Chains A and B, each alone.
Chain A
Amino acid sequence: MTFTSLSEFFAMGGYAFYVWTSYGLTLIVLLANIIIPVWQRKQFLRSLSLKQQRLDK
């Protein structure tokens, strides 16, 4: 056991800013790389099916 309490864990031995900024930023960048393509694919499929419906009429 390295940390004896939760507040000690968040304090990171005085390096909280550097450690948590690193982890937070990484989380944001990695999430964006998943969310953006999934959203783009859904948008693209929607526009394709709309086009198809117009052609079918």
Chain B
Amino acid sequence: MFLIPDVVVRFFHRMASPPHFYAFTARLMPWLVVIFVMLTAAGLYGGLYLAPPDYQQGDSYRIIYIHVPSAWMSLFIYVVMAIAGGIGLVWRIKLAEIVAISSAPVGASFTFIALVTGSLWGKPMWGTWWVWDARLTSELILLFLYLGVIGLYGAIDDKRVASKAIAILALVGVVNIPIIHYSVEWWNTLHQGPTVTKMDKPSIHVTMLVPLLLMALSFKFYYIIAMLQRARVELLQRERNAQWVKNMLQEKQS
């Protein structure tokens, strides 16, 4: 542990304590919301108003500012969920289990948004709402993985056992993540190749790139906010008989 600064270790130790996590996230929330709103406002202003129309796609390309960040988030959240699940599985840390299950609905939502906005973009540009192309199909499988995690968790009454089960499912499903990412390179698909995450220079103009990156950052903050809101409910439900919850209720009543 000598590689990790003492402050960081202590922070994680304290965050793993349920009453501290509950109080800390409440204090953190307004700051997260302020940052999220500012990033979103700047990103939308840049993307919907300042950025020029695409020379081939006109204004329809503006769907990119939610489609691409959502698709990135669908992969990012899945990896976070699998890692948190893995940590919970190995060290039985309650908070890691809660982060894993609280990520699932947010990840499923972003996957759904990526699929639907992709469809709404595909109709005018490709002339079809849907094709069974590698990128689209693997993203749809991701949605089913998220829904599987949510369903499995709900089906098992003992939430510690349920957390083990979803962690295993999430870890097995990680195999789909590189498939989604490289699908546009491995198979000849209708979906276009990457324009931003290319190793050399991104093939997108800076007036279009900046709002896209702002929206990507804004969605990261949104994920933290939505995941923590879920986590607070989940934590209260699991800790309903704990002394700190009783103390908190009494303080509210008096």
A residues in contact (CB < 8 Å) with B: 2-3, 9, 12-15, 18-19, 21-23, 25-26, 29-30, 32-34, 37-38, 40-41, 44-45, 48-49, 52-53
Contacts and interface: CB of A to CB of B under 8 A. Distances in A.
Given A26-B70, A34-B226, A44 B233 contact: yes
B245 interface: yes
Interface stretch (B46-54, B92-100, B141-149, B164-172): B46-54
Interface in B56-78: 58-60, 62-63, 66-67, 70
Contacts of B250: 52
Contacts of B230: 37
B105 interface: yes
Interface residues of B, number: 41
A45 B236 contact: yes
B122 to A, nearest CB: 9
Task: Identify the 4 closest CB pairs spanning chains A and B, nearest first.
Answer: A13-B59, A15-B60, A37-B229, A22-B117
B63 A22 contact: yes
A29 B124 contact: no
Interface string B118-151: 0011011000000000000000000000000000
Contacts of A21: 120
Given A3-B49, A52-B246, A19 B109 contact: no
Given A18-B60, A18-B121, A49-B253, A41 B236 contact: yes
A41 to B, nearest CB: 5
A34 B236 CA distance: 17
Nearest to B229: A37
Nearest to A15: B60
B116 interface: yes
B197 interface: no
B245 A48 contact: yes
A18 B53 contact: no
Interface string B33-56: 000000000000000111111000
A40 B233 contact: yes
B50 A2 contact: yes
Contacts of A32: 109
